């Protein structure tokens, strides 16, 4: 059932309220330590849609050790039906689903480039690996565009979160990249895809017991 106009207005008001409370600066002790030595866990979330039926999806959460990036915990929501909630949650719109703040498609900067300056910046990024800020129409810095891995020329978009500065967010993303996509998100993506591939009609039983097949790993790494 599609969301009503009144419900959408409530979601927008709640998003505006939460956005106003975001603190874009470092507040945690580990953020000030060299190589983030006080940080021991990092997590990633992903939502994958069934290739056979886009109305069905699987969300997964993965927690890794830091800095070793070994998987410690896998959890998730089995099969979900986003269309029942009336709006795609990849865009971060408030629903009862575990939303992803930035869609995977938005990690590709090409769709966000609006002028020749940004196009040239992207070309320079692909050549030299230098990062550059991505700004909105108002001039506010929305995030950073960077080349996250030497084996990939495709840019990655990093935005700030709550109680973390953009510089810290970029440094942490770089530290978590074995491939183009940060390892916590990459591992979550592998497992959500694998669940849909191997158990398309299975009941919700969690994702931890579902190992990532060689085919799933290869598919994910090819996108990196």
Higher-pLDDT residue of 112 and 105 is 112
Apex 94 CA angle, 91 and 99, nearest 5: 55
Contact 5, 21 (CB under 8 A): no
Which residues contact residue 4 at a Cβ distance below 8 angstroms, ignoring those fewer than 6 apart?
none
Cα gap 158→137, rounded to integer Å: 18
Q: Which of 174, 192, 209, 183 is nearest to 43 (CA)?
A: 183
Q: What is the pLDDT of residues 121-135, one digit of tens each?
A: 777 777 777 788 877
Query: Is this model's pTM higher than 0.85 or not?
Result: no
Where do the domains of the chain lie?
5-15+23-223
pLDDT value for 1 = 54
CB 141 within 8 A of CB 128: no
For 105-121, b/e burial (b = at least 16 CB within 10 A) is ebbebeebbeeeebeeb
Does 113 score more than 60 pLDDT?
no
Tally of CA atoms within 13 A in the half-sphere of 196 that contains its CB: 25
Distance of CA 215 to the CA centre of its chain: 22
The set of residues, in sequence order, having a beta carbon less than 8 Å from that of 194 and lying 6+ positions away, is: 210, 211, 212, 213, 216
Is pLDDT above 90 for 62? Answer: yes
Average pLDDT over residues 70-85: 72
The superfamily CATH assigns to domain 5-15+23-223 is: archaeoglobus fulgidus dsm 4304 superfamily (3.30.2170.10)
pLDDT value of residue 217: 56
Would the pLDDT of 215 be above 70?
no
148-184 tens-digit pLDDT: 888 887 888 888 888 999 999 999 999 999 999 999 9
Cβ(58)–Cβ(48) under 8 Å? yes
Residues paired with residue 146 on neighbouring β-strands, in sequence order = 156
| Tokens found for residue 67 | 């800095």
Q: Given this model, what pLDDT does residue 209 score? A: 45
User: Tokens representing 188?
Assistant: 């979550």
Q: How is residue 22 written in tokens?
A: 């975001």
For residue range 45-60, list pLDDT tens digits in order. 888 888 877 777 888 8
């Amino acid at each position: 059932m599609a969301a009503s106009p009144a419900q959408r207005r409530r979601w927008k008001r709640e998003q505006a309220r939460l956005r106003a409370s975001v603190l874009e600066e470092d507040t945690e002790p580990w953020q000030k330590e060299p190589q983030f030595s006080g940080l021991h866990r990092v997590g990633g979330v992903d939502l994958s849609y069934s290739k056979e039926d886009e109305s069905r999806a699987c969300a997964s959460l993965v927690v890794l050790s830091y800095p070793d990036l070994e998987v410690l915990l896998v959890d998730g929501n089995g099969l979900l039906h986003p269309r029942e909630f009336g709006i795609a949650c990849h865009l971060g719109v408030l629903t009862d689903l575990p939303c992803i703040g930035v869609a995977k498609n938005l990690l590709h900067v090409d769709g966000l480039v609006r002028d020749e300056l940004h196009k040239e910046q992207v070309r320079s990024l692909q050549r030299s690996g230098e990062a550059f800020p991505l700004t909105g129409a108002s001039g506010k810095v929305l995030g950073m565009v960077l080349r996250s891995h030497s084996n990939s020329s495709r840019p990655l978009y990093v935005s700030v979160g709550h109680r973390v500065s953009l510089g810290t967010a970029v440094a942490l993303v770089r530290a978590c990249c074995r491939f183009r996509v940060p390892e916590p998100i990459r591992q979550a993506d592998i497992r959500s895809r694998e669940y849909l591939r191997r158990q398309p009609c299975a009941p919700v039983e969690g994702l931890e017991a579902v190992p990532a097949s060689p085919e799933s790993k290869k598919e994910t790494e090819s996108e990196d």
